[in-house]
Amino acid sequence: MTPVIAQTREELAAVRADAQGTVALVPTMGALHEGHRSLIRRARQLADTVVVSVFVNPLQFGAGEDLDRYPRTFAADVEACAAEGVDVVFAPTVQVMYPDEPQVTVKAGPMGERVEGLTRPGHFDGMLTVVLKLFHLVGPDVAVFGQKDAQQLAMIRRMAADLNVPVAIEAGPTVREFDGLALSSRNRYLGPAERATAVALSQALQAGADAVAGGPEAVLAAAGAVLGKAAAADPPLEPDYLVLVDPATFADVGAGHTGPAVLAVAGRVGATHLIDNVPLSLA
């Protein structure tokens, strides 16, 4: 089945008016891979009508980030959506989403300045703004996001709670390559040697998870040791952060912390910024 492709707000409104039953939305920036497809399959289970949005949102890219070279593979994305039984692909242009320079935007608050937000000022404001706009345009009952972007997920949940957004937020687990590297649209930037270095991110998380019985300090030390080795590799992994945080607030957990936590890591290999995380439970 070929999905209906809507590119304007009017086209989307017309297909939305015809939609029967419940609606699930899977927001993406395209360059769809198996991680996106797993979220689409989850959406398929949750609702009668599945809408996938494909929009590379300029508002969430900072100066010097990869907005211009971000992969755009629309024909393949539509094929993937067709294979997964998607009903509607909403693929607006920048002009459709932002006909004027936006004046009123969503502010992420303190959580937006932590961890990933420290090195990407304004990123989470831009992300939340486009997600709220997509919610208003599509009117879904449920929206599905990946645990891969754990801070994004936490902030969308918080936005939904703080602003009384009537959309249920569902999360899907991170899909990985055979060796553990988290699937990402940005992986296609990596050359073979960079790809070999990049696996250290997931290896660090695995080492941290294996050390969970020793508490927060042991988790961070085990993961940090793997990152330290990768920092000396050729090409090197340049770590941005390695943190153990509260899954809901992304504030650091203390040394004696017990209960759920997220071990989150980010680093640069060549010009490519990669992030990954693993949920943990500390006894």
Among 6, 25, 38, 126, binds ligand AMP (CB under 6 A): 38
CB nearer to ligand AMP: give 29 or 47.
29
**Contact region with ligand AMP (CB under 6 A), list: 1-9, 31-39, 116-124, 243-251:** 31-39
In the complex, least distance from residue 256 CB atom to ligand AMP, rounded to whole angstroms: 31
CB nearer to ligand AMP: give 187 or 197.
187
- The set of residues, in sequence order, having a beta carbon less than 8 Å from that of 141 and lying 6+ positions away, is 22, 23, 24, 47, 167, 168
Query: Does 60 sit near ligand AMP (CB under 6 A)?
Result: no
Among 28, 129, 187, 197, binds ligand AMP (CB under 6 A): 28
Q: Is the peptide bond before 235 cis (omega within 30 degrees of 0)?
A: yes
Query: Does 182 sit near ligand AMP (CB under 6 A)?
Result: yes
Query: Does 272 sit near ligand AMP (CB under 6 A)?
Result: no
Among 19, 24, 25, 39, binds ligand AMP (CB under 6 A): 39
Cβ atoms of residues 218 and 211 within 8 Å: yes
DSSP calls for 46-82: H-SEEEEEE---GGGPPTTSSTTTS---HHHHHHHHH
Sign of CA dihedral 123, 127, 110, 185: negative
Query: Is there a binding annotation on residue 183?
Result: yes
Task: For the chain, give percent helix, strand, coil, nearest 5.
Answer: 45, 20, 35
**Contact region with ligand AMP (CB under 6 A), list: 28-36, 65-73, 97-105, 238-246:** 28-36
The phi, psi pair for 23, rounded to 5°, reads: -125, 130
In the complex, least distance from residue 145 CB atom to ligand AMP, rounded to whole angstroms: 4
CB nearer to ligand AMP: give 16 or 123.
123
Burial of 51-79, coded b for 16+ CB within 10 Å and e otherwise, reads bbbbbbbebbbeeeeeeeebeebeeebbe
Please tell me the distance from the alpha carbon of residue 127 to that of residue 45, in angstroms, as a whole number.
Answer: 26
123 catalytic residue (yes or no): no
In the complex, least distance from residue 71 CB atom to ligand AMP, rounded to whole angstroms: 10
Query: Is there a binding annotation on residue 148?
Result: yes
Report the side by side order of strands in the sheet with 88-90: 4-6, 88-90, 49-54, 23-28, 142-146, 168-172
**Contact region with ligand AMP (CB under 6 A), list: 1-9, 14-22, 168-176, 230-238:** 168-176
CA dihedral of 179, 248, 157, 48, whole degrees rounded to 10: 50
Query: Is there a binding annotation on residue 35?
Result: yes
Query: Does 145 sit near ligand AMP (CB under 6 A)?
Result: yes
Residues lying near ligand AMP in the complex (CB under 6 A): 28-29, 35-36, 38-39, 145-146, 148-149, 172, 174-175, 182-185
Positions annotated as catalytic residues are: 36
Q: Which amino acids are annotated as binding site, given as ranges?
A: 29-36, 60, 146-149, 152, 175, 183-186
Q: Which amino acids are annotated as binding site for (R)-pantoate, given as ranges?
A: 60, 152
